[in-house]
Amino acid sequence: MASAIYQCIEQIGSKIIEHKDFLTELDREIGDADHGINMARGYSEALKALPQEEEDIGAVLKKTGMTLLSKVGGASGPLYGTAYMKAAKVAAGKKALTLEDGKAMMEEAIAGIKMRGKAVQGEKTMLDALIPAYEALTEGMAAGKSPYECLADMCAAAEKGVEYTKTIRATKGRASYLGDRSIGHQDPGATSSLYTLEAIRDFVKGL
Ligand SMILES: Nc1ncnc2c1ncn2[C@@H]1O[C@H](COP(=O)(O)OP(=O)(O)OP(=O)(O)O)[C@@H](O)[C@H]1O
Ligand SMILES: [Mg+2]
């Protein structure tokens, strides 16, 4: 039987593939109309490459990251690839994760994206969904919430972050070429980050 972590990646991939056209549409407005195509191809390749029965969460995340990094061109492949590979280090050798592990994985993933993309919050990127989600996780844990409740809060925070990207100017990636004309448009990468978190939330709900 496929391991839980494989099933989780499969659920993320399905969600991204389901929203492929919308992600590409968003990127058409402020980029080069390939974000959905890039992400869908990356997950299809990753799902083909992953060992379905492998229970070592770190090993599966590492392979996912390496596949996204090598098969997806542009900005998002290396950025998501780095995020997965950084999170994989925290999960190395583990067959189950605690909320503390999840928090450390988010911290590493965000640090990896910041390092690779040389970006900070407020530049209209995936970080504008992921950083608020991380903060919601920290707050949820402090309030003693369950993993599912924390994930639900993380998704709500990421959704607000996606809305926020509509109000700001892009200063990273191709969207930055538009300057003020990027205002009013939703960031594709922040949107795919929201879908990723929603898929993880729904996966955890079904456990
Ligand atoms: N330096 C960066 N740091 C963090 N995220 C970034 C950066 N550059 C781009 N992104 C994210 O990547 C998304 C675009 O991903 P896409 O798959 O379309 O790759 P791309 O076409 O090569 O990107 P871009 O045109 O932004 O360079 C953006 O919406 C943004 O969220
Ligand atoms: Mg693009």
Q: State how far the Cα of 129 lies from the Cα of 193, in Å rounded to an integer.
A: 6
Q: How far is the CA of 75 from the centre of ligand 1 (A)?
A: 5
Q: Which of 158, 192, 204, 206 is nearest to 43 (CA)?
A: 192
Tell me if 42 CB under 6 Å of ligand 1: no
* Protein residue closest via CA to atom 25 of ligand 1: 174
* 107 token code pair: 């911290």
If one residue of 43, 118, 126, 164 were mutated to test the ligand 1 pocket, choosing by the most ligand atoms within 8 A of its CB, it would be 126
Provide the residue-wise pLDDT of the chain in tens; the chain has 207 residues. 899 999 999 999 999 999 999 999 999 999 999 999 999 999 999 999 999 999 999 999 999 999 999 999 889 999 999 999 999 999 999 999 999 999 999 999 999 999 999 999 999 999 999 999 999 999 999 999 999 999 999 999 999 999 999 999 999 999 999 999 999 999 999 999 999 999 999 999 999
Give the CATH number of the domain where residue 120 resides. Answer: 1.25.40.340
What does the angle CA 6 – CA 36 – CA 201 come to, to the nearest 5 degrees?
40
pTM of the model: 0.98
- Give the structural domain span for 154: 4-205
| Residues in CB range of 143: below 8 A, 6 or more apart | none
Tell me if 31 CB under 6 Å of ligand 1: yes
**Ligand 1 atom closest to Cα of residue 27:** 18
Q: At what angle do helices 147-165 and 99-117 cross, to 10 degrees?
A: 20
The total of structural domains in the chain comes to 1
